[in-house]
Chain A
Amino acid sequence: MTNSNISRRSFLKKAGKTSGFVVLAGGAVQLTSFNAWAAKKSAIDKHVAKTILLVGKDMFPSERFTDELYMIAVDSLDAKASKDESLKASLTEGVAAFDKAAGGKYINASSKKRMNVIKSSEGKGLFNPVKGEMVNVFFNDKRVWKVAGYEGAAYDKGGYYLRGFQDADWPQPPEDASPKGWWE
């Protein structure tokens, strides 16, 4: 394990990433957290997991989302697959279909090629469970909210009336348009 590990580490350090893996230009995927994947009690194998992660990231890429965060969707699907044989089979088949469509491994394909693979499978195959997990689980996760700037429940914190509901850096409208609050 060696050279590639070293180069990965130095890349990670250079890129300032703290997460388990990064997607390199050209689509190469290297992951550290996945080194332990086989030892983990997982339903889906490492290749399936890696591919799902990259599909989720390709669907919703953002500079603010680390690869560690995208693992939320992978772990969630894996947990479901461990209780659902048909889901497990469909994920494995779905990844195989994505690899085939990519003319090799999806995770090694160019970003343009990968986007074409996703587009051509809209609404079917691997597309549905991954998009569903991203929308229903990833974007419903407080760790993701935090980096995207969504603050979630407000009632237990007393609402926003004293916590920045008017702090955006735009001019304060006149009082006839936006009266003072009852507390003022």
Chain B
Amino acid sequence: MAKKFDLNDDTVAVVIGSGAGGGTLSNELAQKGINVVCLEAGKRYTTDDFVNDEWTAFLQTAWLDKRTTSGSWRVATDFPGLPSWIVKSVGGSTLHWAGASLRFQEHEFRVKSEYGDVKGASLLDWPITLKEMEPYYDKAEDKIGVTRTHGIPGLPGNNNFKVFYDGAKKMGYQDCHTGRMGINSMPRDGRNACLQLGFCFQGCKSGAKWSAGYSEIPKAEKTGNFELRTEAHVIQITHNKSGKIDGVVYVDKDGNQQKQKARIVAVAGNSIETPRLLLMSNTSMYPDGLSNSAGQVGKNYMRHLTASVYALMDKPVNMHRGTTMAGIITDESRNDPSRGFVGGYEMETLSLGLPFMSAFLEPGTKGYGPRIGKWLGQFDHMAGMWIVGEDMPQESNRVTLNTNEKDQNGMPVPNVHFDDHENDLAMRKHAFGKGTDVYKAAGALDIFETPPYPSTHNLGTCRMSAKPKDGVCDKNGKSHDIANLFISDGSQFTTGAAENPTLTIVSLAIRQAEYIAKEMAKGTI
């Protein structure tokens, strides 16, 4: 029952983006009887369209619109036009997420209180607690079908996990298992069980992995309250004379500008596009962009610590067989400042295929030489893990408009500026050491410490805060400045925590849908 709404229908909720935040919010609102128009910049791909090939899938699904970078992070040198690796497609980056679905720890919602003042960091407590989030985490886990929750068994571990587990136990780590994953270990919710394909990053062809694109959007369409418009790239959010949001302007697939009227607008374009859109929507009433009276839009960009540790083992591993993120060690995720840094990190197995490995093992111009040749030639002997740690928010790490460069629609491109905080550097050093120890314990012949790839976890650029002066939105994702404007993606994150963000984004979207429905019923928005 695909519905079509009129461009002049000013009763609809417009959701910008169809990923973990926007796709979930759209479905949750539609289920509650609210009319939703979801505008997605990308195309719609189904499981039939996904390709088990790294470069083909990358060119098919990655967000490759022009962007620029600055700052001392290595990504700016190695990938100056690609600060992030996210997806431009229906389902957004849930198309290529690995599936790790971890709740934040209690203290991670109040890090300012827990860590105290950290020089150079713009830490803040979330205006929401774990206790308030728990019912929504529970709903999100049920929706996604997270393994090891709701009676869903864990996934079987693959070869990469066997090596990882062996090293973890020999190291004395206590908590190592195949993780809480948004990948079906048994058929559930109309989706298949995992066939251990690998290629989790390329779109799951078996449909075992939860993705907003085929899990949420079709359910929303069935309600009859929902319209998805693909290749609809929003370039401006508009407001009326009183300052309330009244619609959006987007470029459709034929390159024509359209204006969709709206009762509310929820922005979920991932943490680079969301602040960019607010900044591009500046007017004489809002000269610094929408919801930016505190000057916080685009600031406090976080991307998680990230690093990878690869090992060359003495026997064949074949890590590419089976789930990309097959297991986790959580022992280092605690906050233990005696390690020389605040916050913690998760260790999660990760594999890349040979095509990506040749580009990313040692990214940039340094990625060649006898050692790298030897490693790539023995791809079948490699094992690997990814480090996901809490990075420090800093005001100077930010998304701004680069008015010297224009995108395909003639709009200023986003510039992403990032410098590592010294806490990030200390944590990464520690994590490299521990990752090395794990693989040495499991028999590694050589270890490769791989620096961060283009960011997959982009967070914090429109953060929620108790006080309007400290952020962009409140605990419901509602703009501090404009009552009918919402932030609905990872941009809301006050701080990043050590865990992969998707489960928290989905939980916040479920919670936000409840709030919006309630307020709409009351007539306050």
Chain A complexes with chain B: yes
Q: How many positions in chain B have a CB within 8 Å of any CB in the partner chain? A: 62
Chain B residues near A40: list those with CB within 8 A. none
The answer to the question of A159 belonging to the interface, with a C-beta cut-off of 8 Å to chain B, is yes
The stretch that binds A, out of B91-99, B288-296, B370-378, B466-474, is B370-378
The answer to the question of B525 belonging to the interface, with a C-beta cut-off of 8 Å to chain A, is no
Complex contact A182–B186 (CB within 8 A): yes
Complex contact A145–B156 (CB within 8 A): no
Complex contact B55–A136 (CB within 8 A): yes
Encode contact with B along A98-119: 1 for CB under 8 Å, 0 otherwise: 0000000000000000010010
Complex contact A151–B320 (CB within 8 A): yes
A159, B178: Cα distance in complex, Å: 18
| Those of A129-184 within 8 Å (CB) of chain B | 131, 134-136, 138-140, 144-145, 147-156, 158-161, 163-173, 176-182
The answer to the question of B121 belonging to the interface, with a C-beta cut-off of 8 Å to chain A, is no
Complex contact A178–B185 (CB within 8 A): no
Chain A residues near B163: list those with CB within 8 A. 168, 170
Partner of B156, one of A65, A131, A178: A178
Main secondary structure of the interface of A (DSSP, over half): loop
The stretch that binds A, out of B123-131, B190-198, B339-347, is B190-198
* Given known A62-B374, A168-B159, A173-B161, contact A148–B379 (CB-CB < 8 A): yes
Partner of A177, one of B165, B315, B367: B165
Complex contact A150–B354 (CB within 8 A): yes
Chain A residues near B368: list those with CB within 8 A. 59-60, 118, 131, 134
Count contacts between A and B, CB distance < 8 Å: 185
Partner of A168, one of B205, B206, B318: B318
The answer to the question of A123 belonging to the interface, with a C-beta cut-off of 8 Å to chain B, is yes
* Given known A139-B358, A150-B354, contact A182–B315 (CB-CB < 8 A): no
Complex contact B156–A164 (CB within 8 A): no
Chain A residues near B437: list those with CB within 8 A. none
Task: Please give the distance in Å from B157's CB to the nearest CB on chain A.
Answer: 4
The answer to the question of A127 belonging to the interface, with a C-beta cut-off of 8 Å to chain B, is yes
Contact-residue bracket for chain A = 35 or more
Chain A residues near B318: list those with CB within 8 A. 149, 151, 164-165, 167-168
A151, B357: Cα distance in complex, Å: 14
Chain B residues near A163: list those with CB within 8 A. 321
Partner of A166, one of B157, B186, B359: B157
Q: Closest residue of chain B to A178, judged by CB?
A: B157
A160, B318: Cα distance in complex, Å: 11
| Those of B147-197 within 8 Å (CB) of chain A | 153-159, 161-163, 165-166, 176-178, 185-187, 193-197
A172, B315: Cα distance in complex, Å: 15
Complex contact A178–B55 (CB within 8 A): no
A164, B380: Cα distance in complex, Å: 13
Partner of B353, one of A63, A136, A150, A170: A150
Chain A residues near B357: list those with CB within 8 A. 139
Complex contact B378–A64 (CB within 8 A): yes
The answer to the question of B255 belonging to the interface, with a C-beta cut-off of 8 Å to chain A, is no
A118, B369: Cα distance in complex, Å: 9
Complex contact A144–B195 (CB within 8 A): no
Chain B residues near A59: list those with CB within 8 A. 368-369, 373
Complex contact B166–A170 (CB within 8 A): yes
Q: Closest residue of chain A to B169, judged by CB?
A: A173
Task: Please give the distance in Å from A68's CB to the nearest CB on chain B.
Answer: 15
Complex contact A144–B178 (CB within 8 A): no
Complex contact A179–B153 (CB within 8 A): yes
Residue among B53, B196, B359, B378 with max Cβ neighbours from chain A (10 Å): B196
Complex contact A123–B365 (CB within 8 A): yes
Chain B residues near A178: list those with CB within 8 A. 154, 156-157, 161-162, 165, 177-178, 327
Chain B residues near A62: list those with CB within 8 A. 373-374, 376-378
Chain B residues near A165: list those with CB within 8 A. 156, 158-159, 196, 318, 321-322
Q: Closest residue of chain A to B359, judged by CB?
A: A135
Complex contact A155–B205 (CB within 8 A): yes
The answer to the question of A85 belonging to the interface, with a C-beta cut-off of 8 Å to chain B, is no
* 16 residue pairs bridging A and B, Cβ less than 8 Å apart: A60-B372, A60-B377, A131-B367, A138-B358, A139-B354, A139-B359, A140-B55, A150-B380, A151-B318, A153-B52, A155-B199, A158-B195, A166-B157, A166-B162, A176-B177, A177-B165
Contact surface of B with A, Cβ cutoff 8 Å = 51-55, 153-159, 161-163, 165-166, 176-178, 185-187, 193-199, 205-206, 315-318, 320-322, 327, 353-355, 357-359, 365-370, 372-374, 376-381, 442
9 A-B pairs besides A123-B365, A149-B379, A177-B178 with CB distance below 8 A are: A62-B377, A134-B358, A136-B55, A139-B376, A152-B52, A170-B166, A178-B154, A178-B165, A179-B153
Contact surface of A with B, Cβ cutoff 8 Å = 59-65, 115, 118, 122-123, 127, 131, 134-136, 138-140, 144-145, 147-156, 158-161, 163-173, 176-182
Closest 9 pairs (CB-CB, A-B): A149-B380, A62-B377, A159-B195, A178-B157, A153-B52, A139-B358, A165-B322, A168-B159, A150-B354
